[in-house]
Amino acid sequence: MDLLALFTTVRRHKLIVLAVLLVLIAGNAFVAFGIPPRYESQAQYVLIAPPPQPTEAAIERDPGLLKVNANNPYLRLPNPSVVVDVLSQRVSGNMIRQELINQGADEDYTISSTNAIGSGLVINVVGTGSSPDSAARTLDLVSKSMEKELYDMQKVDGADDKYLFQALPINPPTDPTRKVTGTIRSVIAVSAACLVLLFGLISVAEAVGPRRTKQVVPFDDPDAPRDVTGPTTAPVVPPRANASDLTIVLPRVRGTEQQGPASQRPARD
């Protein structure tokens, strides 16, 4: 179907187009004014590795190291970026998320690792909310929970604080800014849904329309069904033998069959 035929089809269904247009305007107005705006604020932390566990030679030089508990299980990992991944999963878990929500944090916060500096050793915390103050509060609560979880998960064997990973802030938290990408995605989704609805209704209207129209059957088709209930006034067209024959089509006059040929009519006095 070309564009001209498509435009002609759409123009025939002006009421459907008007109805879908009203739905589109109402949906976009609800997205723009009915859904609360979203704000977000970010903070980044870099993971600082502790000194390695003391060797036997270091203990011989300083026997006091035997009194220090260096049993941090995360020091035995080959890559420190695993600590960031474990920390992200713990803070993003359902239990801690629910605790933060109960404290007043927004449920859509995120915490993840990034390669901005080093190899996955940067922790990116994003606080969200329906207002700038709510986003800033969420960021503060999540950051404190992140530091607490980082400390607790390394103290499982009672390691000394000297042998614990630490999260140091890189920059101050950013100012809360409005997040417009979600609104734009919602507007696009509503527009696409209305477009699908428009063509769906037009397709239904085009399919139902021909069924309500009575089928027109040519009179000279002997196999086609005919309506014999009413009189016909169409001319009788005999079949043509070839294109060179000259056939004169005369209308059938009612009552000629009863009168018969002119030669058989009784003469008038």
Lowest mean pLDDT among 120-124, 157-161, 240-244: 240-244
Rounded to whole angstroms, the Cα distance separating 190 from 31 reads 9
pLDDT in tens, 210-267: 655 555 555 555 565 555 555 555 555 555 555 455 555 555 555 555 555 554 555 5
Closest by alpha carbon to 45, among 107, 108, 110, 117?
117
Mean pLDDT to the nearest integer, 152-179: 89
Rounded to whole angstroms, the Cα distance separating 143 from 137 reads 10
Closest by alpha carbon to 147, among 46, 10, 14, 25?
46
Radius of gyration of the chain (CA): 43
Instruction: For the chain, give the mean pLDDT.
Output: 78
| pLDDT of the residue at 94 | 92
Does the reported pTM lie above 0.85?
A: no
Lowest mean pLDDT among 44-58, 71-85, 96-110, 221-235: 221-235
Position of tokens 């990408």? 181
| pLDDT of the residue at 264 | 52
| pLDDT of the residue at 220 | 56
Mean pLDDT to the nearest integer, 180-201: 84
| pLDDT of the residue at 64 | 72
Sign of the Cα torsion 246, 252, 258, 263 reads negative
| pLDDT of the residue at 91 | 93
Angle at 186 between CA 185 and CA 187, to 5 degrees: 90
Q: Between the ranges 63-72, 112-121, 190-199, 227-236, where is the mean pLDDT highest?
A: 190-199
- Write the DSSP string, 229-262: SS---PPP-PPPS-TT------PPPTTHHHH--G
Please, is 246 exposed, middle or buried when counting C-beta atoms within 10 Å of its C-beta (0-12, 13-18, 19+)? exposed
What contacts 166, CB < 8 A, 6 or more positions away? 47, 48, 50, 150
